[in-house]
Amino acid sequence: KFFYKFGAIPFIPLIIIQIYAYFIRVNAYGFTGYRYSSLLFIIFSIITIALTFIKNGKFSRYAIPVLTFIVLFDSLTPWNLINMAHKSQFNRMMKVLNKYELYDSASDSLKPYDPAQLEKTILDEDRDALRSSYRYLSWTSSMPLPEWAMKSENENGKTYKSKMMFEEVFGIKATPDEEAIVS
């Protein structure tokens, strides 16, 4: 009975620290598959610890069914690991595109803009957010990129679509020019 009353108490500060660190990371970089899994693990940990305090741990045997529910939720619902990470990174990219008025939602395409002017005006944190979210969507996510991020190539009478590199899509460098930083 002692364990059920006091055994979970040392884990509470660890969960609080984990929650704090988690929100800092998600705030800065958005959801990824790993971060979404971490969120679900935090939820499972909180529920499991709460179950140990209810009636001297009488309900702690329900931890495994709770874990099963979380795994099924993460796998079978529209809020699954793949969709949530993709949506988060896509929204992060769109936030930057809309901030600089680069995206036309009516035609679902990039607006015509001057890449040289964008290169001068884009903030480093916006460039980093745009680059990292585009990299995640291009190379990590299994969901298709928007049509405006694809290029068509003809070879032997067949048309192939391929992903464009960051610089091709947005017309700016992936990292700020080192000379501009020094001066």
3-state SS string for the chain:
CHHHHHHCCCHHHHHHHHHHHHHHHHHHHCCCHHHHHHHHHHHHHHHHHHHHHHHHHCCHHHHHHHHHHHHHHHHHCCCCHHHHHHHHHHHHHHHHHHHCCCEECCCCEECCCCHHHHHHHCCHHHHHHHHHHHHHHHHHCCCCCCHHHEEEEEECCEEEEEECCHHHHHCCCCCCCHHHHHC
In tens, the pLDDT along 110-131 reads 999 999 999 999 999 999 999 9
Average confidence (pLDDT) over 58-87: 93
- Cβ atoms of 72 and 35 within 8 Å: the answer is no
User: How many percent of the chain have pLDDT more than 70?
Assistant: 92
Structure confidence at residue 5 (pLDDT): 53
Phi, psi dihedral angles at 107 (to 5 degrees): -100, 0
Backbone angles phi, psi at 160, to 5 degrees: -120, 140
Cα–Cα distance for residue pair 27/18, rounded to 1 Å: 14
What tokens does 44 get? 């499972």
pLDDT tier at 83, thresholds 50, 70, 90: very high
| Whole-number Å distance between alpha carbons of 164 and 159 | 15
Please tell me the predicted confidence (pLDDT) of residue 57: 78
- Is 180's pLDDT higher than 50? no
**Predicted confidence (pLDDT) per residue in 127-166, tens digit:** 999 999 999 999 999 999 999 999 988 888 888 899 999 9
pLDDT for 117: 95
Confidence band for 6, pLDDT divided at 50, 70 and 90:
low
pLDDT for 181 beyond 50:
no
Question: In this predicted model, which residue has the larger pLDDT, 108 or 54?
Answer: 108
pTM, entire model: 0.79
Give, in order, the Cα–Cα distances in Å from 67 to each of 11, 57, 121, 160: 18, 17, 47, 43
Q: The dihedral of CA 121, 125, 129, 132: what is its sign? A: positive
pLDDT at position 31? 87
Mean pLDDT of 102-107: 94
For residue 19, pLDDT over 60 is answered with yes
